[in-house]
Structure 1
Amino acid sequence: MRPMNGKTALVTGASSGIGKAIARRFADDGARVYLTGRRKDELEAAAEGMGLDAVPVPSDVSRAADLDRVMDVIRADGRRLDVVVANAGLGDGARLQDVTEEQFDHVFGVNTKGSLLTVQKSLALLTESASVILLASTTVHQGVDRMGVYAASKAAVRSLGRTWAAELAPRGIRVNVITPGPIATPAIDGLADRFGQSTQDLHAALAADTALRRMGRPEEVAALAAFLAGPESSFITGAEHFVDGGQVQV
């Protein structure tokens, strides 16, 4: 028995890392999954590995017109949305004195505006009792050097999750936030050069910052997303759920 048989899900930022793992988990669980991402070739390769019910729709979540096109594809297939995962995000590490207006706009455009547009454009397609899942970050709860703008953008996502949980409750729609800690993804690896570290040293430092003394796996985040997408979490909304190895909890 596949728990998401007959369900339809949208996962943004699904070309790699956490988004790809969530989309794969949903597809394995029987859902038809629409994947978005800006890198067309990488997105299509990711979808190809998930089977016929994984549909890649190249798009940029910071552009309203792109998300309109995503919804048109879903609507043309005669589908509504049971699950929306606003995962697309990026970080561009810089200290206060080095932050540029362009960096600020880019990070907030994808992380915060992108999450808002994803959920907003999905509203007409959301079923009763749908599940909306937003991705935040443990940097919201720590003062991490060079991650101030990124953390602020994710703090805004967490705040929006609370408001949307209240606003959408009359429709039976639940909104929850997943807050990953250090997860082994290409995005994390990309920070090594910016911080002047080797990937191995960065992983070691991040692992040492957790109670479990290791990096997390994207599949561990996907397991929580699958729970929040399903009926077992039917009385959970507006909450923040940590997958951080105890990084900010212990």
Structure 2
Amino acid sequence: MTKTIVITGAGDGLGKALARRFCSDGDRVFILGRTEATLRAAADEFGERCVPVTCDISDSASVRHAFGLIAQQTARIDVLINNAAIYAPFELNEVTDEQVMSQINTNIAGPVFVAREALGAMEAGAHIINVSSESVKLPVPMMWLYAATKAALERIGDGWRRELRPRGIRVTTVRAGKMFGENKTTSGWEPEVTMRFAAACAAAGMPMMEQPLSQFQSLPDIFRLIVDAAPDINLDHITLGARRAD
């Protein structure tokens, strides 16, 4: 059955790869992101089943406006994928107020704002999927705040799961490893920051060039299985770690 799916952070990376797959499968997909031009380019590529909605998930007013637009086009949301996140390495002595609050507001408050608005259109059988990170368990240098926000998202998902179970709504946490691909092949950080991060990882015994890396396009098949899983199957926590091909 065709599903109505909302994906945050869908202008590039994993979100875009998921949108491409679900649209090609015949689902109706609302893609959310902060950059209208990027979303429009994706929608033009994926066809009329893809609906771009500009939204800054860290801003509750922006989220309310976005879901008001979505409500004008559909009365039902079957799947919400909280994928959007901000990550950047820094040390405690140098981190700015903006860096702290942008990660907290986007990675923690954002999924809450989005799920709250989506919930009114979700019925029994609906599904919320929160995308977490392997950094929750890996001691990655200079990424302690990002790891903490993802750990918080996992805990939030546990609470939602218990709260929404009586309504027949599933909540799944997908903890993913390091990925690249699509039009996102670098971190986007300043060269000096990247060099310091690489040096810190090497000193911690985690040299960047030796870490396994997966591709965004490797994950949509798995998300398809999650979305289509039989209603009598629990899908609470799923780990998709990157591995080196033999």
2:239 matches 1:242: yes
Percent sequence identity over aligned pairs: 29
Whichever residue aligns with residue 46 of structure 1, its letter is A
Task: Give the secondary structure class of the aligned counterpart of 1:136.
Answer: strand
- Of 9, 17, 22, 1:21 maps to 17
Q: 1:148 to 1:187 in 2, by over 3 A?
A: farther
The normalised TM-score by structure 1 is: 0.87
Q: 1:151 to 1:122 in 2, by over 3 A?
A: same
2:210 matches 1:208: yes
Q: After TM superposition, give the deviation of residue 31 of structure 1 in Å.
A: 0.7
Aligned to 1:219: 217
Task: Give the secondary structure class of the aligned counterpart of 1:125.
Answer: coil
More displaced stretch, 48-57 vs 21-30? 21-30
Return the alpha-carbon distance in structure 2 between the equivalents of residues 178 and 206 of structure 1.
Answer: 23
Aligned to 2:124: 128
Q: After TM superposition, give the deviation of residue 118 of structure 1 in Å.
A: 0.9
Paired residue total: 235
Aligned to 1:106: 102
Structure 1 contact 96–148 (Cα < 8 Å) conserved = no
Task: Give the secondary structure class of the aligned counterpart of 1:6.
Answer: coil
Structure 1 contact 13–37 (Cα < 8 Å) conserved = yes
What per-residue deviation string (whole Å, max 9, x for no partner) do you get for residues 159-190 of structure 1? 11111111110111110111111101427532
Return the alpha-carbon distance in structure 2 between the equivalents of residues 207 and 49 of structure 1.
Answer: 33
Q: CA RMSD in A?
A: 2.3
Unaligned runs of 5+ in 2: none
2:77 matches 1:81: yes
Return the alpha-carbon distance in structure 1 between the equivalents of residues 190 and 222 of structure 2.
Answer: 27
Structure 1 contact 9–31 (Cα < 8 Å) conserved = yes
Q: After TM superposition, give the deviation of residue 192 of structure 1 in Å.
A: 7.2
Aligned to 2:90: 94
Q: After TM superposition, give the deviation of residue 105 of structure 1 in Å.
A: 0.6
Q: After TM superposition, give the deviation of residue 152 of structure 1 in Å.
A: 0.6
What per-residue deviation string (whole Å, max 9, x for no partner) do you get for residues 127-172 of structure 1? 2111110011111101111101111111101111111111110111
Q: 1:147 to 1:198 in 2, by over 3 A?
A: closer
Aligned to 2:179: 183
- Of 129, 133, 145, 1:137 maps to 133
Q: 1:36 to 1:187 in 2, by over 3 A?
A: farther
